[in-house]
Amino acid sequence: MALPVDPARDSGFLYYDVPNRGNGAVAPDADGHIRVISGWQGDIAPQDGLQTLTVPIARGADGRSLTGPVLQRFTDIAAGTASVAITGSIGRPTPRPLPLTLDTRRARLFTQTNDNAPRHTIAAKDWAFADCRAKPFPGTPDPTQICVKGGFDSTKAYILTYQGKDPKVLGIGFAAVRDLNDFLRYGTVDDAGTPNPVAGQVRWAIGLGTSQSGNFMRSLIALGFNQTEGNRRLFDGANPNIAARGVPLNIRFGVPGGAANLYEAGSEGPLWWNRYDDRARGRGTSSLLDRCRETDTCPKIVETFGSAEFWGLRMSPNLIGTDAGSDIPLPPEVRRYYFPGVTHGGSYVGGFPAGGEKAYPGLAACTLAWNPNPSSQTRRAVLKSLEAWISEGKEPLPSRYPTLAAGDLVAPDAAALGWPAIPGAPTPTGKINEMPDYDFGPAFDYRDLSGIQSKQPPSIRRIIPSRVPRVNVDGNEMAGVPSVQLLVPTGTFTGWNEAAAGYYKGRGCGFIGGFIPFARTEAERKGRGDPRPSLAARYGDHAGFVARVRAVASEQVKLGWLLPDDAEKIVMQAQASDILR
């Protein structure tokens, strides 16, 4: 927790930042807000610097161990790997339940050559729950690893299913976040007599979540945890940022650190803020706000997301449902702001790098340069408007996002998008992460994203149709709230990219957006056969480029989409750039 040292600077706001895979830090807030983080993900092992949560093991009514099917999938196993650890999540591997037995006849291991190919079973005698790093196959028995006779094929995916035991009660994470913030907002002392360090200081509370933690915030609201045990509203406002799904937390053997990969739960419940009849999946009419509306505890919501969420995280049904037939209108307590042409979370550095953002070690190798288009400045501006909406009743700027009615949303292929023919560049066709309608078995509660996945691997009933924002003649998206970088483009910014190697080679490259720079001069452009005008044709010289950035940044400030200090930084970045120097 970080508190204002000077009580006179206390804003009255508590900001709770949901950690992402245990990552989170607090620092003094320039606006005088109280900043709080805490652990909620109980499958992360305690470690210095991480926000974790210790949760109990679920037991049967008679104290016996609970069991059930567990699925773990492995891709991009490096050639020569002797054995792989059975871990879930991305970014921070988490241990999976131990198998009931090491007898591989009681488990199954499949391979696939691609996500749409048939699964092939590896014979029980040809793989083992074992560590084969020091001792060749069948190796040393080990319930936390598997190895394969003859070694792993790096071009294939491996799908393991087995009976596990002792599931952790991960769903307690929702109650832990609710109860901590309830105490800080409304309490005086806790059950042990410890005083509330901010008693009487909190007038309003806002919950923030980005990516996985944004999914957590959506689920917290959907499951009714924005109502305290004292029947009061927990958060007055919420910002689920770059979040397209629910978090699969309240599930036996769930993997809350997943990322919309094949066979992972997360999109099964209502994905929409207003009520919608999910006829395609036969789940009736529902919304994320059903429970909080019943108790009058809904927060004011500012939803923010960008292009990569359409391409990599299955955002489309959130806007147009599972039939992709029409726009689902937003309710009055929700504003939606779309960041066109950005990677997942926007650029990490921003600015105007001529060749795109530098790739980061350990992350996927993609064909296109990394997308340097930022979204953080726009998000800062809309969070300010959320504060005013809560504290002053001042209506925020109208929602801006792509719709079917405006002709913004089209099929995810080059022809429908109006994608320009850029020599040497991949096209968006085949880069969408499709949304399956899974059958996890009768013990799974689809609407609440809860229960038991008794059918592993799940069968796929159908593929839900997806739509994505169309582009202009430069290949840049047009709907939503554009950054200055998109309004004064130096190239084509995409929310998709192409995997350059590995199991997904030629398909989408995770959630990493791409960048295709414009030619510097017209002669260079014509020599390449590039249909997009050059930088020189657009801006003349470096001074002309900077002048255009300054004018656009000033206009964005006037419109309310940019804060003045951020506008100044963007102009300084343009001045320092190499564009047309």
Distance of CA 261 to the CA centre of its chain: 12
With H, G, I as helix, E, B as strand and everything else as coil, classify residue 305.
strand
This model's pTM is above 0.75: yes
With H, G, I as helix, E, B as strand and everything else as coil, classify residue 277.
strand
Distance CA 490, CA 352 (A): 8
Give the domain ranges of the chain.
7-55+169-342+373-406, 67-165
The answer to whether 27 and 37 are in contact (CB under 8 A) is: no
Residue 104 DSSP code: G
Using CA atoms, how far residue 151 sits from 29, 77, 268, in Å, is 52, 10, 36
Q: Report pLDDT for 86.
A: 97
DSSP 449-467: TEE---SSSPEEEEEE---
Distance CA 451, CA 223 (A): 13
Each residue's pLDDT expressed in tens, for the chain with a length of 581 residues? 999 888 788 999 999 999 999 999 999 899 999 999 999 999 999 999 999 999 999 999 899 999 999 999 999 999 899 999 999 999 899 999 999 999 999 999 999 999 999 999 999 999 999 999 999 999 999 999 999 999 999 999 999 999 999 999 999 999 999 999 999 999 999 999 999 999 999 999 999 999 999 999 999 999 999 999 999 999 999 999 999 999 999 999 999 999 999 999 999 999 999 999 999 999 999 999 999 999 999 999 999 999 999 999 999 999 999 999 999 999 999 999 999 999 999 997 788 988 888 777 777 799 999 999 999 999 999 999 999 999 999 999 999 999 999 999 999 999 999 999 999 999 999 999 999 999 999 999 999 999 999 999 999 999 999 999 999 999 999 999 999 999 999 999 999 999 999 999 999 999 999 999 999 999 999 999 999 999 999 999 999 999 999 999 999 999 999 999 999 999 999 999 999 99
Q: Report pLDDT for 190.
A: 93
**Strand duo 514-517 + 491-493: pairing:** antiparallel
DSSP 468-487: EE-B-TTS-B-SS---HHHH
Burial class of residue 86 in the structure, from the number of CB atoms within 10 Å of its CB (0-12 exposed, 13-18 middle, 19+ buried) = buried
With H, G, I as helix, E, B as strand and everything else as coil, classify residue 61.
coil
Q: Report pLDDT for 9.
A: 86
Calculated CA dihedral for residues 458, 439, 292, 187, nearest 10 degrees: -30
Extract the tokens encoding 353. Answer: 């790098």
AA identity, residue 248: P
Extract the tokens encoding 246. Answer: 């629910």
- CATH 2.40.50 for domain 7-55+169-342+373-406: no
Q: Report pLDDT for 363.
A: 74
Burial 135-149 (b: 16+ CB within 10 A, else e): eebbbeebbebbbbe
Distance CA 527, CA 422 (A): 12
Q: Report pLDDT for 12.
A: 96
Q: What are phi and psi of 205, to 5 degrees?
A: -130, 140
Give the CA radius of gyration of the chain: 25
Bridge partners of residue 87, in order along the sequence: 95
Distance CA 444, CA 455 (A): 9
Q: Report pLDDT for 364.
A: 77
Residue 89 DSSP code: S
Distance CA 245, CA 80 (A): 36
Q: Report pLDDT for 127.
A: 98
Instruction: Report, in this order, helix, strand and coil percent for the chain, each rounded to 5.
Output: 20, 20, 55
The answer to whether 394 and 388 are in contact (CB under 8 A) is: yes
223 contact partners, CB below 8 Å, separation of at least 6: 174, 250, 291, 448
Extract the tokens encoding 557. Answer: 């400030």
Q: Report pLDDT for 79.
A: 87
Extract the tokens encoding 208. Answer: 């923030």
